[in-house]
Structure 1
Amino acid sequence: MNAADLFQKIWFGLTITVVVYVAARALQQRIQWMHPMIVSAGVLISFLLISGLPLQQYKEGADLLSLLLGPATIALGVPIYKHRQHIKEQFRAVMLSITCGSIVGVASVSAIMFSFSGGKDIAMSMLPKSVSSPIAVEIAKSLGAVPELAAVFTVFTGIVGALVGTAFLRKLGIRDEVSLGIALGTAAHGFGTAKCLADSEKQGTFSGLAMGLMGVITSALFAVLFLII
């Protein structure tokens, strides 16, 4: 493959992904419940199936967007730094909340799978559902579970949390921005954080903090469980 063909393939995958996502964001402005990630994924999957375009060819361009995830995650440090004094004042409560959220998240999945007699592989793959996908995949590997299933459950959890999390919490009377941010960051990782950042910087700050700490705490929790088991 010459340089021109490679550039064309990379440009195509990158362009179609960006165009579809921008269109999905515009659609969300009119239909609030239409999450752009769901719409984008549906459109792109349908396009690949209909066109017969090899997934690897599409990924050559789309994977460039994955490189931006690192800088985007690091950029969350900016609002965290801006609100560092507020975070410092409530750090103990934040840590306690996230730790409880991690334990409850793991325990609830175990209870549900036990009640419905779910398979061990599925149960193990669902356990790390509330952390970001890269961490969930690594935890699933260490547990001998299915990494691909772990990624699917993680993305599904994040999308559901972003779609209904804020509305559900407000229905329960929870309106404090710190509480909303911590809840969504703990339960819905990056998707929840993106939703919080769209609502307010303060929510996004605590959601981003919760997302990061949730990954650390959950990883430590599974490390302990792995040693015990």
Structure 2
Amino acid sequence: MSALLDQPLLWLVVTLGAYRLGLWLRDRTGAHPLAQPVLVAIVLVATLVVLTDVDYASYADDTALITFVLGPATVALAVPLHRQLARLRGFVLPLLTAVTAGAVVSVTAAVGLVRLLGGDELLARSMAPKATTTPVAIAVSDTLGGLPPLTAAVTITAGILGAVAGPSVLSLLRIHDHRARGLAVGSASHGIGTGRMIVDHPVEGAFSGLAMGLTALATSLVAPLLVALML
């Protein structure tokens, strides 16, 4: 068993296999909200890592290739947006206003809720950038004096919750415009939510990807100012 766990490609194969199983479950269940490939992969891989007592640093080294391709994959989200450029006409100003307002509300609500519930300043600084994509959230957290590993965990959790519940909540609120739905999920749940929206509808996926990028920019700009004012 020890020799098997020391194989350099083991955890890369396990992670990709877990994600592929998640895709299979999503297709078999008719895209059930809980059958999100990322969620399935996280549960399976985390369980195996704990059961085999593998050091996280070793796992991270073995799966460095996946981390590397996240950058190009994020950039590739511009492709579906390019196909929907015509739908941006007359929507640019509302879009920018909504994304900026969303970033302000997200940071303010995160910091305010932590303080209201008695959390310390370190936790508040770590929670502030939770709505943006994980690499940006980690960088912003470090700038704010937060705890980047905690920020990463909270950010991924927010993404999963948005992917699972976001579309259903929007439907309950009777929000059916595909642009607005994509914008909402992308602003709150970054890449994980965008992955769900791409499957649901091409327009929703395109606008979710755009919202993810703009939210990362807006949060980077407003978070330091808002945290300084509130803390």
TM-score past 0.5 threshold: yes
Q: Distance in 2 between matches of 1:182 and 1:37?
A: 20
SS at match of 1:25: helix
**What CA deviation, in whole Å up to 9, does each residue of 1:28-56 have, x standing for no partner?**
33442232222212221221222233434
- Match runs of 1:85-96 below 5 Å: 85-96=86-97
Deviation, 1:132, is 0.5
| Structure 1 partner of 2:12 | 14
8 Å CA contact retained: 2:132, 2:216 = yes
| Structure 2 partner of 1:209 | 210
Deviation, 1:143, is 1.1
* Aligned-residue RMSD, C-alpha: 2.0
SS at match of 1:206: helix
SS at match of 1:10: coil
Q: Distance in 2 between matches of 1:225 and 1:164?
A: 28
Count of residue pairs brought into register by the alignment: 223
Q: Distance in 1 between matches of 2:117 and 2:7?
A: 46
Deviating 4+ runs (over 6 angstroms): 226-229
Q: Distance in 2 between matches of 1:218 and 1:15?
A: 35
**What CA deviation, in whole Å up to 9, does each residue of 1:60-90 have, x standing for no partner?**
3311111111111111111222222322431
Q: Which has the bigger relative contact order, CA under 8 A and spacing at least 6?
A: 2
**What CA deviation, in whole Å up to 9, does each residue of 1:122-165 have, x standing for no partner?**
11111111001111111111111111111111011110000000
| Change in CA separation of 1:156 and 1:104 when aligned onto 2, cut-off 3 Å | same
8 Å CA contact retained: 1:10, 1:58 = no
Deviation, 1:225, is 4.0
Q: 2:170 matched to 1:169?
A: yes
| Structure 1 partner of 2:61 | 60
| Structure 1 partner of 2:46 | 45
Gaps of 5+ in 1: none
Between stretches 48-57 and 75-84, larger displacement belongs to 48-57
Q: Distance in 1 between matches of 2:118 and 2:227?
A: 22
Q: Which amino acid aligns with 2:52?
A: S
Deviation, 1:57, is 3.4
| Structure 2 partner of 1:69 | 70
Deviation, 1:226, is 6.5
**What CA deviation, in whole Å up to 9, does each residue of 1:173-212 have, x standing for no partner?**
0011001000001111111111110111111111111100
| Change in CA separation of 1:29 and 1:89 when aligned onto 2, cut-off 3 Å | same
8 Å CA contact retained: 1:137, 1:150 = yes
Q: Distance in 1 between matches of 2:144 and 2:171?
A: 36
Deviation, 1:227, is 7.0
| Change in CA separation of 1:115 and 1:22 when aligned onto 2, cut-off 3 Å | same
- Match runs of 1:119-134 below 5 Å: 119-134=120-135
Gaps of 5+ in 2: none
Identity %: 30
| TM-score where L is the length of structure 1 | 0.90
Q: Distance in 2 between matches of 1:186 and 1:121?
A: 24
Deviation, 1:27, is 2.2
Q: Distance in 2 between matches of 1:22 and 1:207?
A: 23
| Structure 1 partner of 2:107 | 106
